[in-house]
């Protein structure tokens, strides 16, 4: 740790915005500093805020994050209806309950007609973005997906479709985009090769994951990357690499949430995480990339009953609520005890929106695109 507590606690109010004390007097604000700091500097700052900072310092960081986000999005919170449409997966990611070698996982697959029913239900509730997420399921070929996407766009032309269905070829992504998909979520998981290899089998490579993200961006999707917080073998150095990668990619969305062990994986006995590190990282990501759409994730709400609310207060501005048919909801089991009620359930949208207002947020029922995004671009 190269900076002592005294230097950092001096970063208050105007001084706080001037990260000079952290950066040797070179930079005028923390946002600019985060956008050019090197790996060592970032790792030091992340380490400080994750391990040593006081509650007051974290609250200041969160306030700065909210102020910077509000410049672009005001106090709006955007909603997404999440449809987890298949729990089949051809991959074997070491951390994930859906991995193919988990023979105990309950597998289900919604038909296109069932997915359309979920959209209909979600549309009536007020959602204008549908996030279609699944394991990498070979049943869902380009033809089937393109047919489904164009049907959703035909029935709900004022809605955005977000896909989160893993790694595919450039041509596949292009056909999904041409069928009408607007956005794509593909967490990079970690930007460090060694760390990636500790979380994934050898047939999956960081190189391909990153290539997919750049392809998606080139094709014209609004793109989301992201990572799990506190995943096995994560260090402040690997997190610094995540920050450097994200500022290079300039994604439209960033999804981060605590790593939570699943009992049928090799990490079953890994410690149970808390929300605190994710909250700090949400604030720092918001400060580094103020225009990013940043969800307060389900995993955050799983490790802490107030996690999603705290996430919004730390700088997040998106809530994805689960629209998957109730009978399958608990079978999409990425990790243990996944939240699918309360702050996780689409059925509670109206109640949640009221609650958000009481916290000073403005629930927003538009598509909620990235601020610089023009439809038809
Ligand atoms: N198959 C698609 C993909 O690979 O992007 C989408 C589904 S995948 C299960 C969605 C995300 O869940 C992953 O990117 C990962 O970050 C997260 N996830 C999986 N297992 C997790 C765990 N044990 N704890 C927290 N998040 C987890």
Q: What is the pLDDT of residues 124-152, one digit of tens each?
A: 999 999 999 999 999 999 999 999 999 99
Q: Does residue 186 have a pLDDT over 70?
A: yes
CA 75 to ligand 1 centroid distance, Å: 28
pLDDT, tens digit, 9 for 90 and up, residues 203-247: 999 999 999 999 999 999 999 999 999 999 999 999 999 999 999
Cβ–Cβ under 8 Å, residues 145 and 168: no
Contact assessment for residue 49 and residue 57, using Cβ atoms and an 8 Å cutoff:
yes
166 ligand 1 Cβ < 6 A: yes
Q: Which domains does the chain have, with CATH numbers?
A: 5-69 (no CATH), 75-364 (3.20.20.70)
Check pLDDT > 80 for residue 291.
yes
- Number of CB atoms found within 10 A of residue 309's CB: 21
Best residue among 87, 95, 210, 223 to mutate for probing ligand 1, ranked by most atoms within 8 Å of CB: 95
Query: Ligand 1 center to residue 267 CA distance, Å?
Result: 14
The enclosing H or E element of 257 equals strand 253-258
126's tokens: 């007020």
Distance CA 350, CA 37 (A): 42
Q: Does an H or E element contain 224, and which?
A: strand 222-229
pLDDT of 218: 98
Q: Which residues of 143-164 are buried (b: 16+ CB within 10 A; e: fewer)?
A: eebbebbebbbeebeebbbbbb
Q: Is there an atom of ligand 1 within 6 Å of 191 CB? A: no
> Does ligand 1 lie within 6 Å of residue 184's CB atom?
no
Identify any residues that bridge with 109 across adjacent strands, giving them in sequence order: 86
**For the chain, percent helix, then strand, then coil, each to nearest 5?**
45, 15, 40
- Bridge partner list, 12: none
Asked whether 136 lines ligand 1 (CB < 6 A), one says yes
Half-sphere exposure of 35 (CA within 13 A, CB side): 13
Burial of 332 (0-12, 13-18, 19+ CB in 10 A): buried
Cα distance between residue 135 and residue 113, in whole Å: 19
State pLDDT tens for residues 28-62.
589 999 999 999 999 999 999 999 899 998 999 99
What per-residue confidence (pLDDT) applies to 340? 81
Three-state SS at 289: coil
Give the chain's length. 377
Is residue 9 pLDDT above 50, yes or no? no
Residue 135, ligand 1, Cβ within 6 A = yes
As a whole number, mean pLDDT of residues 268-283 equals 95
**Coil, strand, or helix at residue 322?**
strand
Residue nearest to atom 26 of ligand 1 (CA): 259
Measured from the Cα of 136, ligand 1's closest atom is: 1
Residue 376: predicted pLDDT = 55
- pLDDT category of residue 266 using cuts at 50, 70 and 90: very high
Please determine, for residue 154, whether its predicted confidence score (pLDDT) is greater than 70. Answer: yes
The confidence score (pLDDT) of residue 375 equals: 62
Within 8 A by CB and 6+ apart from 47, the residues are 1, 236
- Which of 110, 119, 45 shows the shortest CA–CA distance to 80? 119
Contact 333, 324 (CB under 8 A): no
Helix (H, G, I), strand (E, B) or coil at 130: strand
**What is this structure's pTM?**
0.94
* Cβ partners under 8 Å of residue 55, min gap 6: none
Q: Decide: 146 and 113 in contact? Cβ < 8 Å.
A: no
Kindly report the protein residue whose alpha carbon is nearest to atom 20 of ligand 1. 96
């Amino acid at each position: 740790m190269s900076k002592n507590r005294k230097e950092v606690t001096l970063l208050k109010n105007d001084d706080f915005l001037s990260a000079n004390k952290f950066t040797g007097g070179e930079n005028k604000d923390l946002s600019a500093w985060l956008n050019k700091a090197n790996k060592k500097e970032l790792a030091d700052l992340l380490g400080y805020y994750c391990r040593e900072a006081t509650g007051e310092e974290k609250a200041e960081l969160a306030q700065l994050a909210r102020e910077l986000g509000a410049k672009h999005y005001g106090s709006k919170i955007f909603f997404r209806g999440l449809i987890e449409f298949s729990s089949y997966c051809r991959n074997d990611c070491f951390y994930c309950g859906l991995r193919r070698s988990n023979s105990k996982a309950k597998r289900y697959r919604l038909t296109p007609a069932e997915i359309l029913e979920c959209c209909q239900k979600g549309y009536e509730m007020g959602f204008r973005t549908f996030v279609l997420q699944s394991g990498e399921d070979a049943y869902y070929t380009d033809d089937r997906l393109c047919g489904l996407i164009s049907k959703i766009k035909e029935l709900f032309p004022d809605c955005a479709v977000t896909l989160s269905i893993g790694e595919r070829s450039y041509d596949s992504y292009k056909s999904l985009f041409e069928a009408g998909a607007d956005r794509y979520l593909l967490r990079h998981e970690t930007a460090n090769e060694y760390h990636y290899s500790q979380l994934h089998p050898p047939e999956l490579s960081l190189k391909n994951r990153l290539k997919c993200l750049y392809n998606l961006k080139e094709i014209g999707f609004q793109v989301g990357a992201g990572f799990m917080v506190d995943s096995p073998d994560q260090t402040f150095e690997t997190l610094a690499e995540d920050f450097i990668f994200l500022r290079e990619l300039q994604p439209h969305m960033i999804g981060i949430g605590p790593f939570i062990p699943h009992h049928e994986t090799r990490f079953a006995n890994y410690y149970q995480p808390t929300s605190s590190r994710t909250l700090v990282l949400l604030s720092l990501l918001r400060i580094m990339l103020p225009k990013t759409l940043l969800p307060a994730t389900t995993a955050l709400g799983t490790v802490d009953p107030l996690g999603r609310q705290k996430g919004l207060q730390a700088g997040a501005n998106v809530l994805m609520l689960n629209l998957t048919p109730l009978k399958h909801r608990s079978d999409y089991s990425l990790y243990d005890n996944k939240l699918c009620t309360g702050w996780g359930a689409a059925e509670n949208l109206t109640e949640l929106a009221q609650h958000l207002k009481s916290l000073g947020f403005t629930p927003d029922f538009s598509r909620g695109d990235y601020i610089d995004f023009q439809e038809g671009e």
